Amino acid sequence: MPAMADETLFQLLHTQVVAAAYGAGRGSGDEGLRAGLTVLEGMGFRVGQGLAERLPQGALAFREELDTIKFLCRDLWGAVFGKQTDNLRTNHQGTYILQDNNFPFLTQMAWGQQYLEEAPKFLAFTCGLLRGTLSSLGIESSVTASVTSLPA
Amino acid sequence: MRKKNKNKNNKNLNASWLKPYSLLQNYPLYIRSIPAEQELKFHYTVHTSLDVVDEKVSAMGKALVDQRELYLGLLYPTEDYKVYGYVTNSKVKFVMVVDSSNTALRDNEIRSMFRKLHNSYTDVMCNPFYNPGDRIHSRAFDNMVTSMMVQVC
């Protein structure tokens, strides 16, 4: 029973974290936006490093890169968001696309283009999370996110 | 790819040695031995055993058999002591050097020791005040290691 509230709590906390990263007199405009994104991404990175140790407990060793990515899609997404990613695509040359049609941080936003520019703020932490987890598991990466429409 | 090594505990009737190794240069994150004077000798042993660990890890990658365990088992026995290895998914290596005369140690005991080490290391990693790659100064970690070594010696 208590587990059901976990995701909501995390989403609420995340919303506040984003607000805090941009509140308190951080410069406005482009500079401020980038600074906030960096802070959020850095936070996600450190959390990802811890998660990479904690989550695979008892799992067998990852034999190849694809195993690690699959672990991300299933176990990490499951632990953090309570669901798995909807689609995984790769070009077999090191690029992977994880698709989530109902991204929990964005489902609460108003429908339409109005807040599309604000969406990156809510994705920065998750990008950092993925980058941190991958880095801890031995894969140096760069993670970007894009939103096609809200609510995602 | 970053390689982290953690060497842990050599349990010896004479000496125990713990040594975590980390990062590209495979430097230790944590070293512990009982008694503490013979550390240098164990430094060397553990460093050479890293090669065996690498061998096993790459062999695992190519093996068709689905044997992807984290516990590496006995790395190599010498006349004085035996070396056991364990590697985590984040490429942190744990190495344990045990005195050969200590025949009472069974395989599953070693496995459970490595599991405890892994759990404690995970706790250290999740500590927000710990920067990954630093040497480990956690007291909880020290206590866990001490209790393990006392149990064996």
pLDDT in tens, A66-81: 888 888 888 888 888 8
Q: Is residue B1, in this structure, part of any structural domain at all? A: no
Q: Is residue A147, in this structure, part of any structural domain at all? A: no
A-chain CB neighbours of B87 within 8 Å are: 61
Return d(Cα B41, Cα A111) in angstroms, integer.
Answer: 67
Domain that holds residue A92: 1-137
Total number of domains in chain B: 1
Q: What pLDDT does residue B23 have?
A: 42
Mean pLDDT in residue range B1-10: 42
Q: Is residue B3, in this structure, part of any structural domain at all? A: no
A-chain CB neighbours of B117 within 8 Å are: none
Residues 34-93 of B with CB under 8 A from A: 57, 60-61, 68-70, 87-91
Go through A35-52 and write b for each residue having 16 or more CB atoms within 10 A of its CB, e for each that does not.
ebbebbbebbbbbbbbbb
Q: Is residue A94, in this structure, part of any structural domain at all? A: yes
Q: What pLDDT does residue A136 have?
A: 84
Total number of domains in chain A: 1
- On whether ipTM exceeds 0.85, the answer is no
Q: Could you tell me which residues come within 8 angstroms of residue A108 by beta carbon, excluding any fewer than 6 positions away? A: A11, A151
Q: Is residue A49, in this structure, part of any structural domain at all? A: yes
B128 part of contact set with chain A, CB < 8 Å: yes
Q: Is residue B2, in this structure, part of any structural domain at all? A: no
Distance (Å) from the alpha carbon of B126 to chain A's nearest alpha carbon:
5
Cα Dmax for chain A: 47
Domain that holds residue B96: 11-152
Q: Tokens at residue B133, please?
A: 């790659």
Contact between residue A61 and residue B60 where contact means Cβ atoms under 8 Å apart = yes
A-chain CB neighbours of B125 within 8 Å are: 49-50, 53-54
B2 part of contact set with chain A, CB < 8 Å: yes
Put simply, whether the predicted model's pTM sits higher than 0.80 gets the answer no
Q: Is residue B4, in this structure, part of any structural domain at all? A: no
Tell whether the model's pLDDT for residue B1 goes beyond 60.
Answer: no
Q: Is residue B38, in this structure, part of any structural domain at all? A: yes
Residue B6 confidence class, pLDDT cut points 50, 70, 90 = low
Q: Tell me, what CATH number does A96's domain have?
A: 3.30.1380.20
Q: Is residue A150, in this structure, part of any structural domain at all? A: no
B92: left (phi over 0), alpha (psi -120 to 50) or beta: beta
Other C-beta atoms lying within 10 Å of the C-beta of residue B122? 19
Q: Is residue B136, in this structure, part of any structural domain at all? A: yes
pLDDT in tens, B64-112: 444 456 666 666 666 677 788 887 777 788 888 777 766 667 778 888 8
Q: What pLDDT does residue B130 have?
A: 85
- pLDDT above 70 covers a percentage of chain A that reads 84
Tell whether the model's pLDDT for residue B119 goes beyond 60.
Answer: yes
Q: Is residue A71, in this structure, part of any structural domain at all? A: yes
CB contact (8 A) between residue B126 and residue A50: yes
CB contact (8 A) between residue A53 and residue B69: no
Q: What pLDDT does residue B26 have?
A: 67
Distance (Å) from the alpha carbon of B89 to chain A's nearest alpha carbon:
6
At A18 the three-state DSSP class reads helix
Indicate the average pLDDT of chain B. 70
Q: Is residue B16, in this structure, part of any structural domain at all? A: yes
Distance (Å) from the alpha carbon of B111 to chain A's nearest alpha carbon:
12
pLDDT in tens, A2-36: 556 777 888 888 888 888 887 765 556 777 778 88
A-chain CB neighbours of B57 within 8 Å are: 61
Minimal-distance CA residue of chain B relative to A58: B70
pLDDT in tens, A78-106: 888 888 888 888 888 888 888 888 888 87
Q: Tell me, what CATH number does B43's domain have?
A: 3.30.450.70
Q: Is residue A7, in this structure, part of any structural domain at all? A: yes
